[in-house]
């Protein structure tokens, strides 16, 4: 029985192994740096450096505006009470919270306290594990404050599962993250700021001891626990669960992470997840995990050894503890009990060896907002509305750049690698998977080596030359002029689906890295546009390396154009569709070989993706902070000199613009309506 890949695929792990190689190199260099630490002064210097770099990644922090704290109810439960309230972490950005307070008068100096940060539960702070551990802390003498993360519990920002790409909190986070990214803002900063403002509220209480302040969370809450630990000087003890590993293990294991879990530039800075803990050494810290966790425990072992080494050089080796349970991902009772013991020891509180008997509340009993949603709170603005305002703030002072200035801005933003010499190419065997009844019944393929470990697949589509699958074309095309097609997702799908605007006698197309014949078979999904799939994961690692994944794809096009030029081509008509239209836009601006540009189903502006609740265009095609420098209309105006045509533009959801709204939209963008023509 034959076992074959889908006919589309040729190198399904090419991009994955490229990034594994890159991240392993960063890890190896960092390991050498840590091994070179020999003295207390070395360790102190490293801690200061790490803290400075992390603070810079999360900058700028917003101003500490009015919290607008308002109480919405109290649940009296005998041994403790639950205070329900709302606050604004930013103006018009409402956070829902529950505070679990032990019964009776506080001890001299005040209660010790813990900020509890939720993981990815759909019902947020009401989730069984989270309300349970907050209640258990209160029963043992701690004030425990817990809030809903954005996109969870009472803070849903959009409808889930109703003709939307949003089905859970992870989808929400990634949607919100890419919209903020267009204005150069990191979603993790928004998440961490919510928790730092929650600390403001907790530490303003008169019944709190500010010298005994803990932070804990699991999974996504473990992520934010490590961030708050690194960013804030006020906690005195930290317990992070089921998050800490290494970026290398996550990548090798094909594990995409949420938008807040991919700090831009973290790998370029030579840092890893352990450095978030090291940044506040020697603060006492408990590292918690489960042996069956999908965040690889081997990575936690490595992180623990690195943290322990720095702490020992600081004379505080006993301040780092590690606990590994036997379960799958989650804050199970054994890990919660380890956390109670740890906080009890460092807060000088006698805690019970076993978790107290708990009485769990229904979700509605814990609601702080009307009908359990901040959308019903007067004055609240949803995150996409804040993203829209952030985009407008950076767009307003911007002026249209001259063409030379635009070219410089585009090249800088795409972080293009150097191109040296004519790229090598490989002649590929025909896979014989074409439809012989189609107009383009035959094709040949060549692999253009654009970077070490990366190949773009150049294809020739011929209606005149039938051939068998065993035949191979050996000569790379040498033609004076050609139409070069850049597809939406793959050449094969577009050509056989008759998406190409015209049918030249010979059609040439290019699948850049991670698309078409090199699309990955990783992350459990073959869907290129999966918001939590392989394309998203590689874009994430590009961001962490301070490298634009889009820029690398544009580099593939530019390198192929270099090869064509070396082979004697003097004129290229670049045709792009959908995502390929973005590649064609930038390559058309940057390469002199391109004399004409046609874009089918193009996006008309990046800003419009920030002005709507949902945008389907993937992170991999959205340059970080692009709106600070330029927008697509600037590129389209510059490309008019190359006979630019726009055919059937798409909106934020990959849908054609309605004719009655398109003209007004073009006018608002400053684009002449004559650019848009019928296909």
Domain boundaries in the chain?
37-72+113-382, 399-677
Tokens of 53: 């770099």
Region 58-63: what's the mean pLDDT? 91
Looking at 162-219, list the stretches that DSSP marks H as alpha helix, in order from N- to C-terminal side: 169-181, 187-203
pLDDT higher than 70, residue 3? no
**For residue 440, what are the contacts with CB-CB under 8 A and spacing of at least 6?**
434, 461, 462, 463, 495, 496, 503, 507
**Per-range mean pLDDT, top range of 470-479, 526-535, 580-589:** 580-589
* Residue 8 confidence class, pLDDT cut points 50, 70, 90: low
The per-residue pLDDT for range 386-432, each reduced to its tens digit, is 999 999 999 999 999 999 999 999 999 999 999 989 999 999 876 55
Residues in the chain: 679
The H or E element that residue 31 is part of is helix 14-35
Region 29-54: what's the mean pLDDT? 98
The per-residue pLDDT for range 77-126, each reduced to its tens digit, is 999 999 999 999 999 999 999 999 999 999 999 999 999 999 999 999 99
DSSP letters for 359-391: -PPPGGGG--SGGG-GGGSTT---HHHHHHHHH
- CB-based contact 506:462 (threshold 8 Å): yes
- CB-based contact 220:260 (threshold 8 Å): yes
The per-residue pLDDT for range 575-628, each reduced to its tens digit, is 999 999 999 999 999 999 999 999 999 999 999 999 999 999 999 999 999 999
pLDDT higher than 90, residue 467? no
Q: Considering the chain, what is the average pLDDT of its residues?
A: 93
Closest CA to 550 of 525, 570, 580, 571: 580
- CB-based contact 603:618 (threshold 8 Å): no
Q: What is the pLDDT of residue 343?
A: 97
* Residue 369 confidence class, pLDDT cut points 50, 70, 90: very high
Region 9-27: what's the mean pLDDT? 93
* Residue 1 confidence class, pLDDT cut points 50, 70, 90: very low
Cα(635)–Cα(150) distance, integer angstroms: 35
pLDDT higher than 50, residue 648? yes
Cα(309)–Cα(670) distance, integer angstroms: 58
Region 11-27: what's the mean pLDDT? 95
Cα(327)–Cα(168) distance, integer angstroms: 23
pLDDT higher than 80, residue 164? no
Q: What is the pLDDT of residue 544?
A: 98
Helix, strand and coil in the chain, % to nearest 5: 40, 20, 45
pLDDT higher than 60, residue 456? yes
N- to C-terminal Cα separation, the chain: 44
pLDDT higher than 50, residue 4? no
pLDDT higher than 60, residue 325? yes
pLDDT higher than 70, residue 679? no
Could you tell me the fold of the domain covering 399-677? Rossmann fold (3.40.50)
Percent of the residues in the chain that have a pLDDT greater than 70, as a whole number:
96
- Region 37-72+113-382: CATH code: 3.40.50.1820
Q: What is the pLDDT of residue 525?
A: 81
**For residue 523, what are the contacts with CB-CB under 8 A and spacing of at least 6?**
254, 255, 256, 530, 532, 533, 534, 537
* Residue 463 confidence class, pLDDT cut points 50, 70, 90: confident
The per-residue pLDDT for range 436-450, each reduced to its tens digit, is 567 787 778 899 999
- 37-72+113-382 and 399-677 have identical folds: yes
The per-residue pLDDT for range 502-525, each reduced to its tens digit, is 888 889 999 999 999 999 989 988
The per-residue pLDDT for range 534-584, each reduced to its tens digit, is 999 999 999 999 999 999 999 999 999 999 999 999 999 999 999 999 999
Beta strand 571-577 with 594-600 is parallel
Region 207-218: what's the mean pLDDT? 98
- CB-based contact 582:550 (threshold 8 Å): yes
């Amino acid at each position: 029985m034959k076992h074959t890949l889908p006919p589309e695929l040729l190198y399904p792990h090419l991009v994955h192994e490229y990034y594994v190689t890159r991240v392993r190199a960063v890890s190896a260099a960092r390991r050498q740096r840590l091994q070179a630490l020999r003295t207390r002064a070395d360790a102190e210097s490293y801690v200061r450096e790490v803290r400075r770099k992390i603070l810079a990644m999360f900058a700028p922090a917003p101003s500490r505006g009015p919290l607008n704290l308002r109480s919405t109810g109290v649940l009296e439960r005998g041994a403790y009470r639950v205070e329900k309230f709302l606050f604004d972490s930013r103006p018009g950005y409402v956070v829902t919270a529950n505070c679990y307070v032990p019964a009776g008068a506080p001890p001299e100096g005040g209660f010790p306290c813990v900020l509890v940060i939720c993981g990815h539960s759909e019902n947020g702070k009401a989730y069984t594990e989270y309300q349970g551990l907050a209640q258990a802390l209160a029963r043992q003498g701690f004030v425990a404050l817990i809030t809903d993360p954005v996109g969870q519990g009472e803070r849903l920002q959009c409808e889930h599962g109703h003709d939307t790409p949003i089905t859970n909190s992870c989808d929400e986070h990634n949607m919100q993250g890419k919209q903020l990214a267009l204005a150069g803002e990191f979603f993790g900063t928004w998440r961490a700021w919510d928790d730092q403002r929650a600390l403001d509220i907790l530490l303003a209480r008169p019944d709190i001891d500010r010298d005994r302040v803990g932070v804990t969370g699991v999974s996504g809450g473990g992520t934010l626990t490590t961030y708050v630990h690194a960013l804030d000087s006020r906690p005195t003890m930290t317990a992070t669960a089921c998050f800490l590993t290494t970026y290398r293990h996550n990548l090798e294991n094909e594990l995409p992470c949420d938008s807040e879990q991919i700090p831009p530039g973290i790998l370029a800075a030579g840092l890893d997840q352990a450095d978030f803990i090291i940044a506040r050494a020697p603060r006492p810290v408990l590292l918690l995990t489960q042996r069956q966790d999908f965040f690889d425990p081997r990575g936690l072992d490595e992180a623990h050894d690195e943290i322990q080494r720095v702490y020992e050089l600081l004379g505080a080796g006993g301040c780092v503890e590690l606990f590994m349970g036997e379960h799958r991902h989650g804050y199970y009772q054994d890990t919660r009990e380890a956390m109670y013991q740890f906080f009890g020891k460092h807060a000088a509180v006698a805690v019970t060896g076993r978790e107290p008997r708990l009485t769990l509340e229904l979700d509605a009993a814990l609601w702080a907002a009307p009908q359990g949603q901040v959308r019903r709170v007067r004055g609240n603005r949803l995150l996409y509305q804040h993203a829209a305002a952030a985009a407008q703030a950076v767009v307003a002072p911007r002026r249209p750049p001259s063409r030379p200035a635009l070219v410089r801005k585009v090249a800088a933003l795409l972080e293009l690698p150097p191109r040296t010499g004519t790229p090598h190419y490989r002649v590929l065997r025909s896979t014989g998977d074409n439809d012989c009844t189609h107009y383009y019944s035959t094709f040949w393929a060549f692999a253009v080596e654009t970077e070490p470990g990366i190949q773009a697949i150049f294809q020739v589509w011929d209606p005149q030359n039938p051939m068998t699958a065993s035949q191979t074309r050996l000569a790379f095309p040498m033609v004076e002029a050609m139409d070069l097609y850049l597809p939406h997702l793959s050449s094969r799908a577009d050509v056989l689906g008759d998406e190409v605007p015209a049918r030249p006698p010979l059609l040439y197309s290019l699948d850049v890295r991670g698309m078409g014949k090199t699309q990955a078979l990783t992350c459990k999904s073959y869907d290129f546009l999966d918001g939590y799939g392989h394309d998203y994961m590689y874009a994430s690692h590009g961001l962490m390396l301070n490298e634009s994944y889009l820029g690398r794809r544009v580099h593939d096009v530019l390198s192929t154009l270099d090869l064509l030029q070396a082979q004697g081509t003097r004129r290229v008509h670049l045709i792009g569709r959908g995502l390929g239209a973005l590649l064609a836009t930038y390559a058309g601006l940057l390469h002199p070989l391109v004399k004409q540009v046609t874009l089918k189903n193009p996006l008309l502006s990046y800003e419009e993706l920030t002005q709507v609740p949902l945008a389907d265009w993937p992170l991999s095609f959205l340059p970080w902070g692009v709106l600070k420098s330029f927008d697509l209309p600037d590129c389209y105006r510059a490309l008019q000199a190359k006979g630019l045509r726009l055919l059937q533009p798409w909106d934020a959801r990959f849908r054609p613009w309605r004719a009655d709204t398109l003209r007004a939209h073009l006018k608002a963008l400053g684009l002449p309506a004559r650019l848009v023509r019928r296909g």
